Amino acid sequence: MKNELLALTGLRGVAALLVFWFHVDLRTPLTFLWQFGPLYNVFSHGAFGVTIFFVLSGFVLTYSQLRTITAAGHPSVGSYAAFMRKRFARIYPVYLVGMLLTALVCTVQHSWPPDMGVLAVTNLTMTQVLFPSISMLWYSNGAWSVAVEVFFYLVFPFLLPLLLRIRRQAVLWVVLAVVVLVGTLGGAAYTLWPEHVSYVLMYSHPLFRVSEFVSGVVAGILVFRFNWRPAEWKALLIVALAVGYIVFFGSKLLGFVVHNWLVVPAVVVLLAVAVQPEKTKVVKLLAHPWLVYAGRISYCFYVVQLPLFMAEETLLERQQLAPGQQWYGFPIFCVTLLLAVVVHKWVEQPAYRFLTRTR
């Protein structure tokens, strides 16, 4: 199943690039893309890269755990601890490096935010997303998504056995449809009543994003247990419809998750095609060595960009950088890429080996 996993890794690389250029566009709008009309919406909605990560996370965890977690019952204390230990080893060392780099930026720029004690404790414990008033402040302006992932990890060993008790494929399809639709409600509420619904709550709270993760888990069961194999042309058609929808209608509705009714199914069907044993065009593209390497360093790439963008924001606010210069994103990309390679090689990989070694 090597090609299948390589294709999923490559998709992670695509998602990381989408999120990066979305972050660039937030700070220095890529106005040169306006000449392409609605196609600009693809970049301005690069936040869907996070949706890809969340769905992919549920899908990959299901793939890796189906042989160890059954419908017989909930996990034992020992198996739960072992699972969480591996998840901790995978994400926390890099997360901590990003937080330390953010602290370094604040020290150099003398830009410490108020209530730093609360922010430090909640960011260290990855609990900031439980409190909307601070969930997207300081380091958590981007690291909130990592904290949301931790919430998913905490519930996954209980969620998977529960879903495995569903023996009929048709029921799983109903579950998937309901989960996807429920996941759009927060965005729909924000679109209808933006003055009454908190954007931060709707966008960054685990309860409002868990539907994406659950969709990935259900999709994983459909693919790896029920052998669901959609035709490649159908998957490409649904993905094309989702992209076209975002291009022409993405900016007409507020709150990114309001579009999940179509975006999440497009991601799900793309994942189902990407793991097919046949070397389809999708698999060949996503398994390209460059994309695969981008996927391998994608977590580091995501984390290390956060302090760099924070430094850029401070310089822009102090008018030490001229606003509206679209080229700023390119040197930030180069530095981010270099740091990601270094952190991946010298922190992420050795830390994971050390923390998961057999004692």
> DSSP code of 256?
G
Residue 236 scores a pLDDT above 50: yes
Question: Averaged over 29-50, what is the pLDDT?
Answer: 82
Average pLDDT, the chain: 92
Residue 19 scores a pLDDT above 50: yes
Residue 4 scores a pLDDT above 60: no
Q: For residue 286, what pLDDT is reported?
A: 93
CA 72 remoteness from chain centre: 30
Cα gap 283→217, rounded to integer Å? 21
**To 5 degrees, how large is the angle CA 190–CA 12–CA 332?**
80
Quick one: what percent of the chain has pLDDT higher than 90? 81
Sequence length of the chain is 359
Close Cβ partners of 135 (under 8 Å, ≥ 6 residues apart): 128, 129, 144, 200, 204, 205
**Phi (first) and psi of residue 345, to 5 degrees:** -75, -40
The span from the first CA to the last CA of the chain, in angstroms, equals: 30
Of the listed ranges 95-99, 280-284, 285-289, the least confidently predicted one is 280-284
Q: What is the DSSP string of 259-277?
A: GHHHHHHHHHHHHHHHT-S
Q: For residue 69, what pLDDT is reported?
A: 63
**To 5 degrees, how large is the angle CA 193–CA 194–CA 195?**
90
Write down the residue that tokens 């990855």 correspond to. Answer: 126
Residue 272 scores a pLDDT above 80: yes
Of the listed ranges 124-138, 273-287, 308-322, the least confidently predicted one is 273-287
pLDDT tier at 181 (50, 70, 90 boundaries)? Answer: very high
Q: For residue 185, what pLDDT is reported?
A: 95
Q: For residue 2, what pLDDT is reported?
A: 43
Question: Averaged over 280-288, what is the pLDDT?
Answer: 90
Residue 212 scores a pLDDT above 50: yes
Close Cβ partners of 121 (under 8 Å, ≥ 6 residues apart): none
Residue 230 scores a pLDDT above 80: yes
> DSSP code of 346?
I
Domain boundaries, the chain: 2-354
Question: Averaged over 52-62, what is the pLDDT?
Answer: 97
Q: For residue 359, what pLDDT is reported?
A: 65
Q: For residue 347, what pLDDT is reported?
A: 98
Write down the residue that tokens 């020992």 correspond to. Answer: 78
Residue 215 scores a pLDDT above 90: yes
Of the listed ranges 28-42, 157-171, 275-289, the least confidently predicted one is 28-42
Q: For residue 1, what pLDDT is reported?
A: 40
Tokens of 88: 């901790």
Q: For residue 323, what pLDDT is reported?
A: 85
Q: For residue 214, what pLDDT is reported?
A: 98
Close Cβ partners of 16 (under 8 Å, ≥ 6 residues apart): 49, 294, 295, 298, 301, 302
**To 5 degrees, how large is the angle CA 307–CA 311–CA 315?**
170
